[in-house]
Amino acid sequence: MRILLAGGAGYIGSHVALVLLEAGHDVLVVDDFSNSAHAAIDRVQHLTDRTVELIECDLSDLATSRAALRDQEFDAVIHLAGLKAVGESVAEPARYYRTNLTATLNLLEIMAEHGVNRLVFSSSATVYAPAAEGVENLDESQPAGHGITNPYGWTKAMNEQIIRDIQVSRPELEAVLLRYFNPVGAHPSGRIGEDPSGIPNNLMPFVAQVAIGRRERLAVFGDEYPTHDGTGVRDYIHVMDLAEGHLAALDHLRPGVATYNLGTGVGQSVFDVVRAFSDASGREIPHGVVAPRAGDVARAVADPSKANRELDWKAKRSFADACRDTWTWQSQNPNGYTGG
Ligand code: UD1
């Protein structure tokens, strides 16, 4: 198939592009490079020895996007384009709603104009309400779309709803909503990986920057949660496993909207992450406990059995693999794509 990969130059998008190319698909990346690098695409081409077609445009601008895509043919859309910084979304909610919702509406419109019915959407475990007492791992039947603590998370829940409603009006639409848990790791070559701008919000890139000496010390956000060591527990999934989940979703599309968790089913605490990364890198990770971060939950771990069963997909890589590959990326590219 020829796949339109919206947001294909970003951290997750570049790994999805690589996996699609290696599976024999053609890839048309649409990206505005607001938070991504051309070098990521260059390196994907180099790693796969394939050509990625690229259109640089902002999908929240309908007229420009429509014109840019007018002569393009594609069989399916994988939509990962959007703004994703939680703190920034609290400070600039209108920009988050405008960008993230409009891009989805515009893509759906352009798909209809091109007669394209296949869509894989990048959603997030952030759409789940905090787990009720007694619930260990979250499956897709858990309540979602309320109790979300920031506009970024709301845009994911609202985009899910937009896709469901449009599917009702266009029953031929075949959509999959992928709820990512916490993507980490990098391609094992160390050539592509996560390159956050500014101070990383997320744990893994922050830990990696402490290990390389770019940041002094990790602030652990709270150690009194009801977890095995008091720190927050998350389901960290290797980005290559996540990328393969998109390929599996593409292969299992059928009319309707299906929702799948992409996670491992295994939880790691912040202290577990510090220990594993220290082992992988051979470096000390200086850290100290500070107050909990507003909006954080104690535990968010997937029950991935629906995706395992119905998509014939499973996260295969270990957390140690993810730490090793993050370290390879971080140590070969200490300043990301731009630092040389
Ligand atoms: C966060 C977002 C979520 C988003 C996801 C994207 C919040 C409340 N949630 O998830 O909406 O989809 O990123 O990847 O921001 N931690 C520290 N010190 C740090 C950073 C994190 O102790 O400097 C802890 C957190 O408290 C948490 C764990 O590490 O327990 C993971 O944090 P993070 O990587 O930010 O992911 P989430 O909070 O799960």
Q: How far apart are CA 163 and CA 228, in angstroms?
A: 38
Atom 11, ligand 1: residue with shortest CA distance: 126
In tens, the pLDDT along 290-304 reads 999 999 999 999 999
Pairing state between β 53-56 and 268-269: unpaired
Of 90, 209, 221, best ligand 1 pocket probe by most atoms within 8 Å of the beta carbon:
221
pLDDT value of residue 49: 98
Q: Which CATH superfamily is domain 2-186+236-263+303-315 in?
A: NAD(P)-binding Rossmann-like Domain (3.40.50.720)
Tell me what the mean pLDDT of segment 230-252 comes to. Answer: 98
So what's the pLDDT on residue 313? Answer: 98
Q: Are strands 53-56 and 76-79 parallel, antiparallel or unpaired?
A: unpaired
26 pairs with which residues across the strands?
A: 2
Look at residue 340 and tell me whether its pLDDT is greater than 80.
no
- Give percent of the chain with pLDDT exceeding 90: 96
Arithmetic mean of pLDDT over the chain: 97
> Residue 338 has what pLDDT?
86
Q: What mean pLDDT comes out for the span 44-55? A: 98
Ligand 1 touching residue 274 (CB < 6 A)? no
User: Per-residue confidence at 131, pLDDT binned at 50, 70, 90?
Assistant: confident
Residues whose CB falls within 8 Å of the CB of residue 274, separated by 6 or more in sequence, listed in order = 207, 218, 220, 285, 287
Q: Give the whole-angstrom CA distance, residue 268 versus residue 301.
A: 9
pLDDT of 132-175, one tens digit each?
A: 888 899 999 999 999 999 999 999 999 999 999 999 999 999 99
With 90 as the cut, is the pLDDT of residue 197 above it? no
- pLDDT for 339 equals 66
Q: Of 71, 123, 82, which Cα lies nearest the Cα of 106?
A: 82
- Please indicate whether residue 152 is annotated as part of the active site: yes
Provide the pLDDT for residue 241: 99
The pTM of this model reads 0.98
Domain extent listing, the chain: 2-186+236-263+303-315
Give the pLDDT of residue 261: 98
Q: Which of 152, 180, 225, 260 is catalytic?
A: 152
Q: Whose CA is nearest to atom 27 of ligand 1?
A: 232
The torsion angles phi and psi of 278, rounded to 5 degrees, stand at -65, -40
Rounded to an integer, the average pLDDT of 245-268 is: 98
